[in-house]
């Protein structure tokens, strides 16, 4: 009897196994189950959203032709060359770049290096219009320039808060690489706080969205269609290492130039010194992070806040300071008149102070 039960159990298990195998084979050769179409639907939705995003931002991007001095031949100079029998030289080619419309009344932002040697600037819009642009002002230290065009029905970008940008965030770059208008590339924010040029007073975002010559001055855009940065440069012979100027820096410079005709520099009023390993050991610091205060200027925001020579500034507005250049950049990005929190180390004791950043004396 026990053997019969065992046999019946074996038959039952075998029958179940055969049934499962049959169902699996049927599913593999038969019609796909309903859920198999879900990924395709999601991809189609993603495609529609992405193309809609590009369609929204393209009208706000311009291509720039910066005509260098001498490119537009003076008829009198040409006549003189003909009289002297001199062959006319080939005019220098225009500098190609990109820009972003940031107001309905025709203000544009781009890179200073795109238009710095130009005698005239022509911008080309998404709708086919070509408009002359004039230089309103520029900040060479941050490589940002502001242009103005006269035109109707202009579609401006909105600035995003670049302090809220996250590493890994998806972005698109739009511009005029190699003269190919309306080129769109995509990628992510690969890094923040990069120092690409020693003379720059601002830091940069790093992105792997392909950026090429002609992209300079064009926008780096988030998935809401807002500018998070202005494309600036790419490291040659690398794969996907580009740099862009954060939008908060660009917006501050644009608003300064629009409202005052120049850039208003913030002022803190300290003389700083790098912290070497030897100095860190003498001060009892665990590492070389921070900015060592050599001196505070009389009647400066730093002096009024109570900062003294010998202090080490560890944080600025609750953000840790890496070194003196980091502090300089943080101050440069602060609006004059804003209160900031300063964390310092004085004789081994941490102290919190507050300072009101002011305009540079003479501004």
Is 273 annotated as catalytic? Answer: no
* The predicted structure's pLDDT at residue 223: 92
Q: Does residue 241 lie within any of the structural domains?
A: yes
- What pLDDT score was predicted for residue 5? 45
Last residue of a domain, one of 148, 170, 191: 148
Q: Does 7 fall in a domain?
A: no
In this prediction, the residues of the chain whose per-residue pLDDT falls under 70 are 1-38, 70-92, 196-201, 236-239, 363
Domain end residue (candidates: 148, 183, 217): 148
Say whether both 65 and 127 belong to one domain. Answer: yes
Q: Is residue 28 part of a domain?
A: no
What is the predicted pLDDT for the residue at 38?
60
pLDDT at 76: 44
**Do 185 and 237 belong to one domain?**
yes
Q: Which of 63, 98, 113, 162 is catalytic?
A: 113
Buried/exposed 298-331: b ≥16 CB within 10 Å, e otherwise: eebbbbebebeeebbbbbbbeeebbebbbbbbbb
Q: Are residues 83 and 102 in the same domain?
A: yes
Instruction: Note whether residue 95 is domain-resident.
Output: yes
Domain that holds residue 191: 162-260
Instruction: State whether 115 and 176 are in the same domain.
Output: no
Strands 204-207 and 183-194: antiparallel
At 139 the pLDDT is: 92
The pTM assigned to this predicted structure is 0.74
Domain harbouring 290, CATH code: 2.30.42.10
**Catalytic-role residue among 142, 162, 190, 216:** 216
pLDDT of residue 70: 65
> 216 an active-site residue?
yes
Count structural domains, the chain. Answer: 3
Q: One of 139, 143, 311, 326 is an active-site residue; which one?
A: 143
- Tell me which of 98, 118, 148 is where a domain ends: 148
CATH number (domain holding residue 256): 2.40.10.10
Question: Same domain, yes or no, for 185 and 213?
Answer: yes
Element (H, E) at 135: strand 130-139
- Torsion sign, CA atoms 206, 211, 213, 214: negative
């Amino acid at each position: 009897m026990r053997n019969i039960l065992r046999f019946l159990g074996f038959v039952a298990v075998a029958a179940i196994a055969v049934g499962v195998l049959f169902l699996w084979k049927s599913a593999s050769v038969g019609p796909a189950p309903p859920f198999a179409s879900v990924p395709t639907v999601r991809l189609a939705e993603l495609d529609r959203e992405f193309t809609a995003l590009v369609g929204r931002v393209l009208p706000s991007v311009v291509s720039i032709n910066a005509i260098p001095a001498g490119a537009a031949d003076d008829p009198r100079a040409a006549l003189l060359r003909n009289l002297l029998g001199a062959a006319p030289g080939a005019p220098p080619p225009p500098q190609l770049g990109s820009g972003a419309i940031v107001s309905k009344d025709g203000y544009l932002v781009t890179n200073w290096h795109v238009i710095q040697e130009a005698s005239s600037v022509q911008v080309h819009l998404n709708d086919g219009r070509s408009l002359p642009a004039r230089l309103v002002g520029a900040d060479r230290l941050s490589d940002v320039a502001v242009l103005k065009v006269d035109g109707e029905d202009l579609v401006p970008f909105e600035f995003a808060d670049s302090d809220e940008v996250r590493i890994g965030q998806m972005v698109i770059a739009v511009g005029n690489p190699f003269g190919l208008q309306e080129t769109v590339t995509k990628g992510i924010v690969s890094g923040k706080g990069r120092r690409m040029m020693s003379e720059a007073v601002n830091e940069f975002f790093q992105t792997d969205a392909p950026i090429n010559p002609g992209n300079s001055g064009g926008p780096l855009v988030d998935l809401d269609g807002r500018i998070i940065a202005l494309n600036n440069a790419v490291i040659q012979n690398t794969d996907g290492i580009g740099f862009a100027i954060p939008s908060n820096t660009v917006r501050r410079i644009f608003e300064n130039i629009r409202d005052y005709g120049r850039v208003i520099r913030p002022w803190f009023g300290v003389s700083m010194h790098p912290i070497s390993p030897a100095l860190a050991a003498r001060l009892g610091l665990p590492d070389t992070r921070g900015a060592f205060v050599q001196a505070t200027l009389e009647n400066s925001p730093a002096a009024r806040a109570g900062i003294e020579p010998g202090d080490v500034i560890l944080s600025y507005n609750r953000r840790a300071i890496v070194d003196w250049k980091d502090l300089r950049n943080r101050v440069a990005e602060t609006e004059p008149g804003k209160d900031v929190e300063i964390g310092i180390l004085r004789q081994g004791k941490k102290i919190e102070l507050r300072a009101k950043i002011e305009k540079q004396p003479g501004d």
